[in-house]
Amino acid sequence: MNILPAKGFPDYELIDSGNGQRLERFGKYILVRPDPQIIWKPKKDNVFWEKADAFYVQNGNKGSWDNKGKVPQKWLLNYKNLSFFCKLTPFKHTGVFPEQSLHWDFMEEKLRSFSGQPNVLNLFGYTGIASLVCAASGAKVTHVDASKSSISWARENQDASGLLQKPIRWIMDDVIKFVGREVKRNVRYDVIIMDPPIYGHGPEGEKWDFNQSFPKLMELCKNVLSANPLFIIVNAYAISSSSIMLDNVLKDYLSSFGGNFEYGELALQETEGARLLSTGIFARWFR
């Protein structure tokens, strides 16, 4: 099992954490967001935390931002040669998951070593940063998500990154239905990336339940892989399982390809010191 710690990148840092909250900088704006796993003490004092530009206030199962009028509706972040928008969403997220920068670097390295143009399938692609990383690294990308607003956001990010001429297909669909049709169409992919939620719904109300749906999706994904695939990455958040589960499932469907398996946790490292904040689990297979 691996713990992959990210210190962020120039436009992001985890400044502090404690008492159920994160203190983070996205670009020039400092945000406070809840995180129930953080039961330890913060290192900074209350006066420092109170200088944040926006606070997400949880109220039962809902919440809202106390913005203080400081943070715009959206603002740009940069990562290497990419640009993408942050937004204060009603669900405390910003559209950017900085710990994923570890995977972005991995994708870029692997794709640039590929002979020819790799064909990438990004499932549950959300705001599309992974799709942009792949396209900028020379890949042809199919990005699938059930949310119209997420795909619109991803297209904004494509424009902001100057990648409108890159071959990216933006598809709003249920992932299991889409991959099933790709199997019938005999379409093949060299790379598959996915960020499945614990629960969700497709555009027509299709039900996604991780424990029941993930093995079905992996069976379909195995059948759309090329003869010599490059890698598969699976991320998972807020599920009551360890990364060992992801590794076991990937081995069920991918062992016949040989290659290497890795699994573990993604984490963010605070700017000062070595304290880590676990942000999710992952498993990946690669050549």
Q: CATH says 97-286 is which class?
A: alpha beta
Burial 257-273 (b: 16+ CB within 10 A, else e): eeeebbbbbbbbbbeee
Task: Work out the average pLDDT over 90-108.
Answer: 96
Q: Where are the domains of the chain?
A: 8-78, 97-286
pLDDT at 1 over 90: no
Task: Work out the average pLDDT over 136-143.
Answer: 98
Burial 206-228 (b: 16+ CB within 10 A, else e): eebebeebbeebbebbbebbeee
pLDDT in tens, 203-223: 999 999 999 999 999 999 999
Beta strands (DSSP E) in the chain are 2-6, 12-18, 21-26, 29-34, 54-59, 62-66, 74-79, 82-87, 119-123, 140-145, 168-172, 191-194, 199-201, 207-209, 231-236, 260-269, 276-286
Per-residue model confidence (pLDDT) at position 192: 98
pLDDT in tens, 57-76: 988 778 999 998 789 999 99
pLDDT at 239 over 90: no
Per-residue model confidence (pLDDT) at position 240: 83
Per-residue model confidence (pLDDT) at position 62: 84
Per-residue model confidence (pLDDT) at position 223: 98
**Between β-strands 168-172 and 140-145, what pairing exists: parallel, antiparallel or unpaired?**
parallel
Question: Which positions ≥6 away from 274 have C-beta within 8 Å?
Answer: none
User: CATH topology of 8-78 equal to that of 97-286?
Assistant: no
CATH superfamily of 8-78: Golgi alpha-mannosidase II (2.60.40.1180)
